[in-house]
């Protein structure tokens, strides 16, 4: 369209002015357009395709384009010679050649115009090919980044499963001597939870599924504790079907049970999960023995959780931990209203 449409328009314009009949544009005018079209595709698929590599030096690229320019101008000259110059010489046999200087000037200006058009065509082909090449590299970069992100998330999940299993088995081990029946129930509940963790957790689950898993884990932990030590409040009625990454709450809750001073019936572990207006909040609070727990910021579970939140939610999620004397509070907040990474 870029090269042929002007010739069509010119033909109709000349027909409208009466200089030639409709559709009477000389075919060699279209041949000029075909030269530019051929130059474009030769440059796009041939020259750039063989020179767009780090091993090929710039001089070879320039030489190829110089050859292309010379060939294009050579063909353009032949068209001019056979379909403009020779017919004009034939006319001179019957009548004088008027304004030979003007004729030569028109030839020079035509060749300059064709040369500039070929150079512009080559530039257009280079720009489009480099743009396509850059787009392909950018897509490849995004694919590699996405694969690295998915691989890291899988690795983090594989770290989470043994960590969860280790803490849970410790709880069941404590139950075996105290209450074998409850320990048997705990093993059954653990198998159900492991099935959820290993086989039923895609990239996202509903908030209802995640809180059901959380309730089961809390029930499992309560088997070895005095009734009333754990205070749980879950309010997600507004957002039960909201999509969320799986296994986000478990690290905070594991931490609370692991380090909480559950031996004192006056100390409580408080777990609050609330979803409202696109914001999901999980907050745990427990007291701990400051003499035995030195660093409350470390641990594989919390570090793992921070990394997963960064990879999945970026700035749409935050995790804060606060230590006040022997009191420890962890607060996880996720804005699922603005986050689209799980869509």
Q: Render pLDDT for 187-209 as a digit per residue (tens, 0 to 9).
A: 887 887 777 776 656 778 889 98
CB-CB contact of 335 with 239 (8 Å): no
Please give the residue range of the domain that contains residue 302.
201-335
Say whether pLDDT at 21 is over 50: no
Task: Flag whether 188 is in a domain.
Answer: no
DSSP-assigned beta bridge partners for residue 327: 287, 324
Mean pLDDT of 16-21: 56
Of 135-149, 292-306, 323-337, the range with the lowest mean pLDDT is 292-306
Please say which residue of 141, 167, 188 terminates a domain. Answer: 141
Residue at which a domain ends, from 113, 141, 169: 141
Identify each DSSP E strand in 163-228 by its residue range.
205-206
Q: Which two tokens mark 156? A: 């983090």
- Residue 329: pLDDT over 80: yes
Strand partners of residue 320: 331
Determine phi and psi for 26, rounding to 5 degrees: -65, 140
- Do 21 and 107 have their domain in common? yes
Q: Please enumerate in sequence order all residues whose Cβ is within 8 A of that of 217, keeping only pairs 6 or more positions apart, or say none.
A: 168, 193, 250, 253, 254
Whether pLDDT at 57 is above 60: yes
322 and 240: one domain?
yes
Same domain, 257 and 329: yes
Contact 259, 328 (CB under 8 A): yes
Do residues 248 and 282 touch, judged by C-beta distance below 8 A? yes
d(CA 53, CA 141) in angstroms, rounded, equals 18
233 vs 146, residue with greater confidence: 233
Within a domain: 84: yes
117/32 Cα distance (integer angstroms): 10
Q: Would you say residue 270 lies in a domain?
A: yes
Q: Which of the 8 DSSP states describes residue 204?
A: -
Residue 124 is assigned to a structural domain of this protein: yes
**Would 182 be classed as within a structural domain?**
no
Element (H, E) at 273: strand 269-276
Q: Does 184 reside within a domain? A: no
Average pLDDT, the chain: 78
Strand partners, 234: 273
- Name the residue with higher pLDDT: 272 or 327: 272
Number of domains in the chain: 2
Spatial separation of the C-alpha atoms in residues 87 and 20, rounded to whole Å: 17
| pLDDT at site 53 | 65
pLDDT score recorded for residue 102: 67
Q: Is the domain of 137 the same as that of 205? A: no
**Which range, 41-50, 100-109, 216-225, 270-279, has the best average confidence (pLDDT)?**
270-279
Instruction: Please give the pLDDT value at position 294.
Output: 46
User: Could you tell me the end-to-end alpha-carbon distance of the chain, in angstroms, rounded to an integer?
Assistant: 41
User: 322 by DSSP, 3-state: which?
Assistant: strand
Measure the CA–CA gap between 68 and 73, rounded to whole angstroms. 9
Q: Look at strands 317-324 and 269-276 and give their pairing.
A: unpaired
Give the per-residue pLDDT at 343. 45
Give CA 185 to chain center in angstroms.
45
Token pair of 315 as six digits: 């700035």
In a domain, 177, yes or no: no
Number of Cβ within 10 Å of residue 89's Cβ equals 9
Each residue of 251-297: pLDDT tens digit? Answer: 888 888 877 766 666 778 999 999 998 999 999 998 887 665 544 44
CATH of the domain at 318: 3.30.565.10
Tell me if 179 is assigned to some domain: no
What is the gyration radius of the CA atoms in the chain, in angstroms? 39
What integer pLDDT is reported at residue 110 of this predicted model?
Answer: 78
Co-location of 9 and 128 in the same domain:
yes
Residues 248 and 327 in one domain: yes
Confidence of residue 78 (pLDDT cuts 50, 70, 90): confident
The C-alpha angle 235, 239, 241, rounded to 5 degrees, equals: 125
pLDDT at position 23: 44
Check pLDDT > 90 for residue 235. yes
Output the CA angle 325-331-334, nearest 5 degrees: 165
Per the CB < 8 A criterion, the answer to whether 165 and 300 are in contact is no
Angle, helices 100-178/180-199, rounded to nearest 10 degrees: 170
Q: Which residue is listed with tokens 């793992």?
A: 304
Nearest CA-CA partner of 284 in 235, 321, 241: 321
Which of residues 121, 141, 161 is at a domain's end?
141
């Amino acid at each position: 369209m870029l090269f042929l449409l002007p010739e069509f328009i010119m033909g109709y314009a000349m027909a409208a002015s009466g200089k030639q009949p409709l559709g009477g544009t000389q075919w060699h005018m279209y041949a000029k357009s075909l030269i530019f079209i051929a130059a474009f595709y030769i440059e796009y698929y041939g020259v750039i395709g063989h020179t767009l590599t780090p091993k090929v030096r710039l001089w070879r690229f320039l030489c190829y384009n110089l050859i292309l320019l010379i060939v294009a101008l050579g063909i353009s000259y032949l068209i001019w010679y056979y379909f403009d110059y020779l017919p004009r010489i034939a006319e001179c046999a019957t009548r004088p050649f008027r304004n030979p200087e003007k004729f030569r000037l028109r030839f020079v200006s035509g060749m300059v115009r064709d040369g500039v058009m070929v150079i512009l065509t080559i530039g257009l082909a280079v720009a489009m090919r480099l743009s396509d090449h850059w787009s392909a590299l950018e897509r490849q970069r995004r694919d590699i980044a996405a694969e690295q992100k998915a691989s890291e998330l899988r690795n983090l999940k594989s770290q989470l499963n043994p960590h969860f299993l280790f803490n849970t088995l410790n709880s069941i081990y404590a139950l075996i001597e105290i209450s074998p029946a409850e320990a048997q129930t705990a093993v059954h509940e653990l198998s159900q939870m492991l099935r959820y963790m290993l086989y039923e957790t895609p990239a996202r689950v509903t908030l209802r599924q995640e809180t059901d898993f959380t309730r089961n884990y809390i029930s499992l932990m309560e088997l070895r504790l005095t009734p009333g030590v754990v205070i749980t409040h879950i309010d997600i009625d507004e957002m039960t079907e909201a999509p969320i990454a799986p296994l986000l709450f478990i690290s905070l809750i594991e931490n609370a049970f692991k380090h909480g001073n559950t031996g004192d019936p006056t100390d409580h572990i408080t777990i609050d999960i609330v979803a409202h207006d696109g914001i999901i909040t999980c907050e745990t609070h427990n007291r701990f023995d400051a003499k035995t727990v030195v660093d409350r910021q470390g641990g594989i579970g919390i570090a793992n959780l921070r990394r997963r939140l960064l990879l999945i939610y970026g700035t749409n999620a935050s995790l804060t931990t606060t230590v006040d004397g022997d009191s420890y509070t962890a607060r996880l907040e996720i804005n699922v209203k603005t986050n689209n990474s799980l869509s």
